[in-house]
Structure 1
């Protein structure tokens, strides 16, 4: 099964050798950080959307640094986020993998790359399964009523991705059914500039089936999951430097992918056909420029971005994927910017922020037969946000941050649907931090945030699967947090109870139209989520660390459980690095949840336990960096993990490979 591994690893050999000459130090793992700490000290300030500053109080933060990403060996950003407290990762029936923070909806969590939003404007989200982990230096997730810089729609949380700004890393892995994961990234000084280059490739012929009994329909015999092939290539480049009092960085990301998506195999095609879809083309290109100017007493920060996205979706009549039923061709573009001015005002510090974004979408649908393209429909959404935050010291032992702003959305173009009115709403927040004792901090925060329905939610029909509802109103989310964080000798502990209430929450219902069951989004009754996030990290020996992270959640709307929200998620991990090897073992527990079956009836998603294992064995040192053999086993026991009906996670998957990463080397490893 693994004969192809050496050849696939050889493809990355030149990148491994190049990266070895460029490698630098890495950071340590971050399980949970105090409210006033940045995500990672190695990251340049301009890559963080809302950076921590002295006296600024922020909502709870969890994250992973370079070292943690190496230990977890993720293929994608979605893999890297699994196990973080309060963060769930779900792959939907369109094949898109999105984060959910504390049970919030997918579109309530925004993803930023080097300070610019990555969400495709038509959809309001981005597929994290296609974003390679190899280009990322570190990541963080900000939960609750986040900073004003994040703008509209960041109501449950924010995923902040920071690309590498120092050192280098390269990895090559292969596994069953043509699985390949190749990546290399390096940041090097070139005169007064810092240049970052990265490339990654993900491929697979099929995912592994955990248990055939969990897939009663549209799944052939064998352990190859139907229609789950993938090929995705990513390129990234950045350059940054200083010009007088201005520091700047420009970057460009391009992803080119094609893939199939698994059909919902709980559905009998004779009764309710699942999606038989393929994505023959999926391309995303995003450019951004960020800068910070020191104006003496004031600081001016800005970022501008431009995104191009296009995809084609082919829908087929049955599981043979031979006869097309329809095609949807999408062409999107986005332009936006944000500027933030920070200055003192007496004992306080004021931070003014203004952001705007235009998202355009062109769509052409084709039915087969006859195969004649329909009219090209144009849609457009404009988002704008502005406001001010004030950092106020209190008696030298506490700090307070207050925020007030306004969000606005307009839809100048609505295709063949009715015109939409402009909508706007105020946003506000408060966060208080106090040091109760040495190493013990308490942060209390709360506020209200707004999310406007995406154009796809308002107008999209998904090749005849959805019934549009242009009357969708915005969501307003009230949030409250209390985080108690303690740092002692070799111990980090964070306990974070939270509460969220969404007014006008957008849910789904099944509507019978002309003998067909169609899904429709609608503003359901108020939704309430209450729970707690827990994170603990204990160094029991100099090279042995124990981790425990978890989330408890009770999420209900209209008297019913909210769909696809597990009642609890927890992970226990052992990270052991005695020198001869580096090993990480994880046990993840996912609690029960509810979902809708094809008829619209409530169904139960059973609980599951997943075991994962990672290992690195040093082989040699080359140019000051360590070359290691790697092994990773996902879902060791072939557990059936059901994020939603008919779409279980893959079964047991073994990946073997090589990794080059900056790391202190033992004398016995050094060569040359």
Structure 2
């Protein structure tokens, strides 16, 4: 059922989440039997939580994926999600300064990658989520799935999905800790968690104030960012097989920006130092859910209610409030045994989603969806995943998406994997209903449609492994702006195909018991239907890393090098032509030393050699910066 009453929509509020969390905490501290969630039958390192309608073992998954664990993040000294993603194959990170960062997977647009936080959409129902100062504090893992994932996640998962999973309560009893860091700014974070016999609750917070740098590169005012984040989660086993739970996240951000010149002659005078330019963002999202598993484990179900709100204000202008709500029911049946351990599982998803935006208060959008997914593991070493989905959209064309994937493990340990599928991206509010700045929307737009195929092999190499994947993506009905007269524009689904193809390589190798090496490389060819190059999609991206751990395990040193080449962008001056940006190398260092059982000292230097670099014409990248910190865990 679609909820369209504004009063009813506002009922799922901060108060609701706080009330639920209080109940969960009371229940957790009073209980005598251990609760299990849908992933506790596996070690988290061995599964991919986001890989469809139910979690799946990584070795059985036929699609290309990368998982960054909390240990990976800590070893590399990564403090923001966007920096954590820069070394992932198939992923390009482009920043217009410090407060506007977009992520693209396999050459897709920024809004073709769906970003989730604890399985909930991070963007409030429209366009791409901007990764600005999103910190890694209290993040348990980041899962990056490449290729269409619309069967499980609907629109915007056309090129891939990034699921950011926050830290939850684990173990038994209380756990707590935190970290403070200073350098070119400061940050502080902490967490408090409790797990009892029937459930648990976890609270995390983070504050970060970064002085930033001058985006214009003219040595003017620093463009900094200040972000505050609160996360809360809990679960409680109310009866045998039945668990109730929730997640909640709120973040507030103030960021400085710079202005752009109406008339410029080069990159040096396109971005102008502007001390008054600023953006303000408030993000709020979460879910309330119920998990049920029958006593024999053959049937499992999850009913979830989700909501995301995103409010943005630019340069003291009128704020825009986006709101997305969804109700999801997932049923899974083990055809030959329990869902958690059976070889064959069939899943059904029913979904109702509603989103709105104050930018277009007269229009709301509703989507009702049904999806079916089959997963099978066979004695021959073959694993398959097949799924299909139908979206019934209220204000634009309906959509059918599908995917199929397979993995096969040979006797020598090599693993072959392949996938194909189709994903969609819905038109945005502005594209549908615009009436500003000379733009008039087109309500007859259809969703953009992406078809993908990839083929890869994972090869064991003694103490290491390397994975090579070939991919091709074909985007049709791409939405583009067109001139309708002098100074007037609208949008159309353009004819032809935007082609993206390339190679992704990832590898790791334990050179010794103490030294681990890693590699990531992407070769990408991304073109428009007319053959012109797509902007902000580097042709070459290479990452090289090494982590050394002392024999006693107390000291860790890490080095990360990143090379970007063949990145084109539009120059907003002169002929307004698309030109290639200079290639660059950056090197980051990080280290930590554990003191006693609970304390650790940390230090890091970003852009060690102070290399000049830029992801977009006119915007200067950050120079060398250094930080030291102190962390603790109990």
TM bucket normalised to smaller: 0.7 to 0.9
1:474 aligns with 2:447: yes
Alignment partner, residue 542 of structure 1: 513
In the TM superposition, what whole-angstrom CA distance separates every residue of 1:404-443 from its partner, at most 9, and x where no partner exists?
Answer: 22123334xxxxxxxxxx3112112211211122421111
State the distance in 2 between where 1:510 and 1:598 align.
Answer: 18
SS at match of 2:389: strand
Offset of 1:607 from its aligned partner? 1.1
Q: Please give the alpha-carbon distance, in whole angstroms, between the structure 2 residues aligned to 1:220 and 1:46.
A: 43
> Partner residue of 2:38?
none
Q: CA deviation at 1:617?
A: 2.2
Determine the structure 2 residue equivalent to 1:499: 472
Matched residue SS, 2:471: strand
Q: Identify the residue that residue 320 of structure 2 maps to in structure 1.
A: 330
Secondary structure of residue in 1 paired with 2:132? helix
Structure-2 separation of matches of 1:482 and 1:189: 42
Of stretches 165-174 and 90-99 in structure 1, the one that deviates more from structure 2 is 90-99
Distance of aligned partners of 1:450 and 1:262 in 2 relative to their CA distance in 1, 3 Å threshold: same
- The answer as to whether partners of 1:265 and 1:647 remain within 8 angstroms in 2 is no
> Are residue 598 (structure 1) and residue 572 (structure 2) matched?
yes
- Distance change (3 Å), C-alpha of 1:38 and 1:507: farther
Q: Confirm or deny: 8 A CA contact 2:442 2:490 kept in the other structure.
A: no
- Residue 533 of structure 2: aligned partner: 561
Matched, 1:175 2:180: no
Contact 1:174–1:656, Cα closer than 8 Å, also in 2: yes
> Out of 258, 265, 281, which is 1:262 matched to?
258
- 1:528 aligned onto 2:528: no
Mapping 1:196-595, distance limit 5 Å = 196-207=202-213, 215=216, 220-221=218-219, 224-225=221-222, 228-243=223-238, 244-264=240-260, 268=264, 278-279=277-278, 281-295=280-294, 296=296, 297-314=298-315, 327-345=317-335, 348-363=344-359, 377-394=361-378, 396-411=380-395, 422-460=396-434, 464=437, 468=441, 470=443, 472-487=445-460, 489-507=462-480, 513-514=486-487, 523=494, 525-557=496-528, 558-578=530-550, 579=553, 581-595=555-569
- Alignment partner, residue 642 of structure 1: 614
Once the two structures are TM-superposed, the CA of residue 184 in structure 1 deviates from its matched residue by 1.5
1:63-102 → structure 2 map (5 Å cutoff): 63-92=67-96, 95-102=99-106
The Cα shift of 1:110 comes to 0.6
1:571-626 CA distance string (max 9 Å, x none): 001101114521111110001222212253222212111111111123x22xx42x
Paired residue for 2:132, among 114, 129, 134? 129
Residue matched to 1:212: none
Rounded Cα–Cα distance in structure 2 between residues aligned with 1:132 and 1:467: 37
In 2, Cα distance between the equivalents of 1:559 and 1:574? 39
Identify which of 589, 609, 622 aligns with 2:585: 609
Distance 1:489 1:230 in 2: 45
**TM-score scaled by structure 1?**
0.78
Deviation at 1:638, TM superposition (A): 2.0
Q: Structure 2: where are the runs of 5+ without partners?
A: 1-40, 337-342
Give 1:151 deviation, angstroms.
2.1
Partners of 1:510 and 1:94 in 2: how far apart? 32
- 1:544–1:44: structure 2 CA closer, same or farther, 3 Å change rule? closer
Q: 1:203 to 1:50 in 2, by over 3 A?
A: farther
C-alpha deviations, 1:141-187, integer Å up to 9, x for none?
Answer: 011133732223211110011111236552211223xx112211243
Cross-structure match for 1:22? none
5+ long unaligned stretches in structure 1: 1-36, 210-214, 316-326, 364-375, 412-421, 663-672
Quick check: 1:39–1:63 contact (8 Å CA) kept in 2?
no
Q: In structure 2, how many angstroms separate the alpha carbons of the residues matched to 1:89 and 1:149?
A: 24
The verdict on how the C-alpha distance between 1:569 and 1:641 changes in structure 2, with shifts beyond 3 A counting, is: same
Q: Say whether the 8 Å CA contact 1:289–1:305 is kept in structure 2.
A: yes
Question: What's the CA shift for 1:191?
Answer: 5.1
| Residues 502-546 of structure 1 deviation map (CA, whole Å, 9 limit, x = unaligned) | 0122356788844x9x89786363111111111111011111101
CA RMSD after TM alignment:
3.2
Deviation at 1:551, TM superposition (A): 0.7
Partners of 2:53 and 2:251 in 1: CA distance:
22
Kindly indicate whether the alpha-carbon contact (under 8 Å) linking 2:62 and 2:384 is maintained by their aligned counterparts in 1: no
8 Å CA contact 1:439–1:488 kept in 2: the answer is no
SS of corresponding position for 1:434: strand
User: How far off is 1:291 after superposition?
Assistant: 3.4
Q: When the two structures are aligned, how many residues end up with a matched partner?
A: 572
Change (3 A) 1:194 1:340: same
> Given the alignment, which residue of 90, 105, 109 partners 1:105?
109
Q: 1:147 to 1:477 in 2, by over 3 A?
A: closer
Q: CA, structure 1 residues 81+50, in 2 after alignment: closer, same or farther (shift >3 Å)?
A: farther
Aligned to 1:9: none
Q: In the TM superposition, what is the alpha-carbon distance from 1:81 to its structure 2 partner?
A: 1.4
TM-fit CA distance, 1:553: 0.4
638 and 503 in structure 1: CA distance in 2 versus 1, 3 angstrom threshold: same
Cα distance in structure 1, aligned partners of 2:307 and 2:54? 20
CA deviation profile, 1:450-475 (whole Å, cap 9, x unmatched)? 111121343457x7386655554321
Preserved contact between residue 194 and residue 201 of structure 2 (Cα < 8 Å): yes
- Return closer, same or farther for 1:170/1:269 CA change in 2, 3 Å cut-off: farther
How far is 1:67 from its partner? 0.6
* 3-state SS in 2 of match to 1:128: coil
State the 1:362 CA deviation.
Answer: 1.0
TM-score by length of 2: 0.82
- Give the secondary-structure state (helix, strand or coil) at the position aligned to 2:71: helix
